[in-house]
Amino acid sequence: MSINNIYKYILFLTAVSATINAAQLTLSSKTERFLTSLSSRSIDKKDEVIDSRCIDTALLVSRPPVYEISFREVSAEDISQLAVKAGIPDSLRKFAGYDKARGIIYYNSPHTKYLSDESEKALDGLKEKALSIIDKLLGKESRLFVFANTETDWAMEKSGDEPKRIMQTYRFTRKVNGSHIIDNTAYIRITFTGNGELCGFEIRNPVLKPMRCERMVKLSSTKERLEQLAKTKNSVHSPLNEEIKISSIIAENAIYSYVVSPGTNRLIPAISVWCKYNLENGEFFEKFETFILDASQVSNIDDEMLETSKR
């Protein structure tokens, strides 16, 4: 066998090995429909929703904008007014403040107790109460936030007892251009304790200045990018640094989204796919896999995946 043929044989074995080791990717019917619809769309068409608050929409044309993130100045009076709107007693308002480094207005009461009613009906009632508090805190801006998830703090009265809810948090994330901001760029957390008393909140609601995105990654390339990602996802490591093989990946849902580009103050349009990773040890985990659409923020991508023109 010639050196050239040996080299080709090695490449063949490598490709086979990669195929065998790669996790199996399955698309749900919902994800399949979403990704298929992207194949017939182009950013160059003038059918993209643009931010209604943009001063100069001509700059944005049809492309979803990039946003520059900044934060308003927050005074002691601002914090005091929010505390009044939230109904925080005078004696507890000293626990409200502003974390300038993170851009978060917060309230953290030290007084917590077990939830008196953990029924589904009671928890749904707390969610509605959280929405009413957000309305009071943000007024018209509250419509920009949508429910994302719940977070529960558990505690035991004494060793060996069943854990009980001591705090229940409702987290809401902001939408821009009809797309979810899926990271912690803009969110509100409302926390209850005891008999539904407000015991905490966090508000991170930056100013978003729209800017033109010069060049986009093709929407139609998203499925191929997902398939390429799946080929590299062979295993994960446990907290004890044990390697665990991934047996399959199920792409359960896909949405238009925004995320912060690492190391910048720019909010970038993206397609995010919610994936369930099944492991060979019987466990699983779920996470968003996000595919950024701003070509200037993407590396190692084939030229044919990029829009042919700039705007």
Domain positions in the chain are 20-64+215-305, 72-205
pLDDT (tens digit per residue) in 189-227:
999 999 999 999 999 999 999 998 888 899 999 999 999
From 10-19, 28-37, 147-156, the region with the lowest mean pLDDT: 10-19
Which fold is adopted by the domain 72-205?
Answer: TATA-Binding Protein (3.30.310)
- Top pLDDT among 7 and 98 is at 98
Positive or negative torsion for Cα 95, 96, 97, 99: positive
At residue 11, the 3 state secondary structure works out as helix
- Write down the pLDDT at residue 308: 67
Mean pLDDT, rounded, for 7-34: 62
Predicted confidence band of residue 93 (pLDDT cuts 50, 70, 90): very high
- Write down the pLDDT at residue 64: 85
- Write down the pLDDT at residue 147: 95
- Write down the pLDDT at residue 62: 57
| In contact, 148 and 173? CB cutoff 8 Å | yes
- Write down the pLDDT at residue 208: 94
**Largest Cα span, the chain:** 86
CA distance 110 to 113: 10
Q: Which of 277, 241, 221 is nearest to 23 (CA)?
A: 277
pLDDT at 166 over 80: yes
pLDDT (tens digit per residue) in 54-72:
433 443 445 789 999 999 9
Phi (first) and psi of residue 136, to 5 degrees: -70, -40
Query: C-alpha angle 273/264/306, rounded to 5°?
Result: 50
| In contact, 190 and 87? CB cutoff 8 Å | no
Instruction: Please state, rounded to an integer, the average pLDDT across all residues of the chain.
Output: 85
| In contact, 193 and 110? CB cutoff 8 Å | no
| In contact, 292 and 270? CB cutoff 8 Å | yes
pLDDT at 242 over 70: yes
Residue type at 289 in one-letter notation: E
Per DSSP, 182 falls in state -
For the entire predicted model, the pTM comes to 0.80
Strands 179-181 and 164-176: antiparallel
Mean pLDDT, rounded, for 14-31: 67
